[in-house]
Structure 1
Amino acid sequence: MSASLPGNRELPESQYDLTTYWGRVRQTATLTDPSTLFAGKHGLEQAKKLVVAYKRGEIKDMTPELWKAKQVVDSTVHPDTGETVFLPFRMSCFVFSNLIVTAGMLTPGLKTTGTVLWQVANQSLNVAINSANANKSTPLSYSKIAQSYFLAVGASCSVAVGLNALVPRLKRVSPSTKLVLGRLVPFAAVASANIVNVFLMRGEEIRTGIDVYPVLSDADKAQLAKEGKAESDVPSLGKSRKAATLAVGETAASRVFNSTPIMVVPPLILMRLQRTEWLRKNPRYTLPINLGLILGMSYVVLPFALAAFPQRQRISADSLEEEFRGRGGDGGMVVFNRGI
């Protein structure tokens, strides 16, 4: 993000009010905007130059061009490391990266082998996205990543295969209800595995804590500017396990919020459409309709799900461990990167 670039003058955090849910939705929509993917290496470097020019005082005011540059930087660069996130794992590419995998999992009539393979593909992608966008103040070893991956795959496959075997055996359920339940099996598998995946992938954060920083007042920011320093130069107050637990829990919840409508609405609509005379006569349109439903729902839902909780989360220092009490910044508050 722009905070990781050099310069002692910080850009405004957003054009929108991030203390409100709708403000965060609008901000998240800019970060997940697929158009930022077309900036390329040259576009990113140009965007960085504009942001650095502002932070060094060479550009005095925020302009539409500068807001666009900040959007490109914030959607491409990791806020903790300052490194470019690999394109398929950026949140601006999330909808497209998940499209084929989600369509595969929601394919009607999958057998056990197909179910397992698509669940493995989904968890592989989830692990990569979780790893690329996690809070980086607590690095995760490759052995931990591998362990988390296999446990998440095991969880998702167990739920999917188990429910696929259970639903047909339900005796007091009508055939139409069984059909609905069968279409919702992928949702149950994905939702449960998403929670397991996030907590396993980011379990090290909970064990060792993540960096928390004091919230700076306007006077603090002015003093830093006089000293030729930026907000990113302010040292961490230490690592908090309570902040990490909150960060990981909120991320897991946002993933469930995101997957629920995507995994529930399209299969139910498709099931209804498959009963129509038109689609019965034109079954070749089933796949493109399924892809269209998933793509449309994914694009609409993602900003609303990610905006459920602020990415830079503020919390009272007194609600954390004893060592942080009384050490908060403006209003006794501290801030940390929740991750996405």
Structure 2
Amino acid sequence: MSASLPGSRELPASRYDLNTYWGRVRQSAEISDPRMLFVSSSGLENAKRLVSAYKQGQIQSMTPELWHAKKVVDSTLHPDTGEPVFLPFRMSCFVLSNLVVTAGMLTPGLKTTGTLLWQIANQSLNVAINSANANKSTPLSLSSMAKSYCMAVSASCSVALGLNALVPRLKNITPNTRLILSRLVPFAAVSSASALNVFLMRGEEIRQGIDVYPVLSEEEKKKREITGEPVESLGKSKKAATLAVGETAISRVLNATPIMVLPPLILVRLEKMHWLKTRPRLVLPVNLGLILTTSLFALPLALGAFPQRETISADSLEPEFWGRGGQDGKVEFNRGM
């Protein structure tokens, strides 16, 4: 993100009010905008030059062109490393990356092999996305990543296969209710495994802590613009890491809920209509269209649930941080996405 580029002057965090939910939703919609995937490497370099020029005082005010440059940078670069996130795992590619996998999991009438393969594919994608967008101040080792991946795959497959076996055995329910429950099995598997996946893939953050920084006042920001002095970390906090990982896990479930619930329920209703009964080849494109439409709206709504740059009281962390906060006794940290 823009914070990783050279220059001591900070850009405005957003053109929207990030203290409100809808402000964060609009900001998340910019970061997850699929159009950012079409920005070329030269376009990214130009955006980085514009942002750096502002941070170094060569551009005095925010312009539409500079806001667009910030959008390109924020949707492409990792806030901790300043390096581009691998393209398939960026939030701007999240909807497209998940489209095929989600459609596969929601395919009606999947057998055991199909269920296993699609759950494995989904958890593999989740591992890659969670790893690419995690807080990088405490990286996860390859061995820990492999163990976490195996546990997440085992959990999702166990839930999916267990519920698939349970639903047909349910008594005293109508065939229509049984059909709906069978279509919702992927939701239960994905929701539980998505939350577990985040905790497993970012468990090292909870065990070691993540960097926290004092919140600067406007006077301190202006002073640092002149001196060029960087903001030093106050240390690593395990409580901040637990909050960051927990909020990210909740946002993953919030994102999965409408995507895994609405399309299958709508499709059940549409499959009873004459026009779709007589055109079975349209089931797949209709399903893809429902998933894509739901995903485009659900992702920013879920990402906006919590701020990406979290601000909390230093006194709510470990004792070594008490009284060391910045403005109003607050500290901040990168939650990850």
Which TM-score bucket, shorter chain as reference? over 0.9
* Residue of structure 2 in register with 1:76 after alignment: 76
- Which residue type is aligned with residue 330 of structure 1? Q
Residue 316 of structure 2 is aligned to residue 334 of structure 1: no
TM-score, L = length of structure 2: 0.99
Matched, 1:240 2:252: no
- Aligned counterparts of 2:163 and 2:37: Cα–Cα separation in 1: 38
Q: Does 1:151 align with 2:151?
A: yes
Q: TM-score, normalised by structure 1?
A: 0.98
CA distance in 1, matches of 2:144, 2:40: 32
Q: Distance in 1 between matches of 2:226 and 2:264?
A: 58
Deviation per residue, 1:267-309 (Å, 9 max, x gap):
0000100000110000111000000000000001100000000
Instruction: State the SS of the aligned residue for 1:17.
Output: coil
Matched, 1:271 2:264: no
The code of the aligned residue for 2:234 comes to L
**Deviation per residue, 1:70-117 (Å, 9 max, x gap):** 000000000001111000000000000000000000000000000000
Query: 1:228 deviation in Å?
Result: 2.5
Residue in structure 2 matched with residue 41 of structure 1 by the alignment: 41
Equivalent residues of 2:9, 2:222 under 8 A apart: no
Deviation at 1:37, TM superposition (A): 0.9
Letter in structure 1 aligned against 2:82 = G
Tell me the residue number matched to 1:190.
Answer: 190
- Could you list the per-position Cα deviations for residues 171-198 of structure 1 after superposition, in whole angstroms to 9, with x for gaps in the alignment? 1222111101000000000000001100
Tell me which residue corresponds to 2:52: 52
For 2:111 and 2:213, how far apart are their aligned partners in 1? 50
In structure 2, runs of 5+ residues without a counterpart are: none
1:239 counterpart SS class: strand
SS at match of 1:83: coil
Q: Within 2, Cα distance between the matches of 1:283 and 1:266?
A: 17
SS in 2 for 1:58: coil
Matched residue of 1:213: which SS?
strand
Please give the alpha-carbon distance, in whole angstroms, between the structure 2 residues aligned to 1:228 and 1:273: 61
Q: Which residue of 2 aligns with 1:284?
A: 281
Structure 1: which 5+ runs fail to align?
none
Q: Following the alignment from structure 1 to structure 2, what is the Cα–Cα distance between the partners of residues 334 and 69?
A: 27
Deviations along 1:93-143, whole A, 9 cap, x unmatched? 000000000000000000000000000000000000000000000010000
**CA RMSD after TM alignment:** 0.6
Q: Return the offset for 1:9.
A: 1.0
**Residue in 1 that maps onto 2:201:** 201
SS at match of 1:308: coil
Q: Where do 4+ consecutive residues of structure 1 move more than 4 Å?
A: none
Aligned twin of 1:293: 290
**Corresponding residue of 1:135:** 135
Supply the distance in 2 between the matched residues of 1:228 and 1:154 (Cα, whole angstroms).
Answer: 49
The answer as to 2:313 corresponding to 1:316 is yes
Residues 248-281 of structure 1 show CA distances to partners (whole Å, capped at 9, x for unaligned) of 0000000000000000000000010000011000
How many percent identity over aligned positions?
A: 72
- Kindly provide the amino acid, as one letter, of the partner of residue 295 in structure 1: L
Partner of 2:217: 217
- SS at the partner of 1:134? coil
Query: How is 1:103-122 mapped onto 2 (pairs within 5 angstroms)?
Result: 103-122=103-122
- Give the match for residue 179 of structure 1: 179
C-alpha separation in 2, matches of 1:84 and 1:203: 23
Partner SS, residue 180 of structure 1? helix
The equivalent residue for 1:65 is 65
**What are the superposed Cα offsets for residues 5-25 of structure 1, whole Å, 9 maximum, x if unpaired?**
001111111001000001001
Aligned-partner residue type, residue 17 of structure 2: D
Matched letter for residue 14 of structure 1: S
Q: Secondary structure of the residue that 2:40 maps to in structure 1? A: helix
- Aligned with 2:84: secondary structure? coil
The CA distance in 2 between the partners of 1:42 and 1:94, in whole Å, is 23
Q: How many angstroms does 1:225 deviate by?
A: 1.4
Q: Which amino acid aligns with 2:332?
A: V
Question: Which of 244, 255, 263 is the matching residue for 2:252?
Answer: 255
How many angstroms apart in 2 are the aligned matches of 1:172 and 1:202? 43
- Within 5 Å, give how 1:300-311 maps onto structure 2: 300-311=297-308
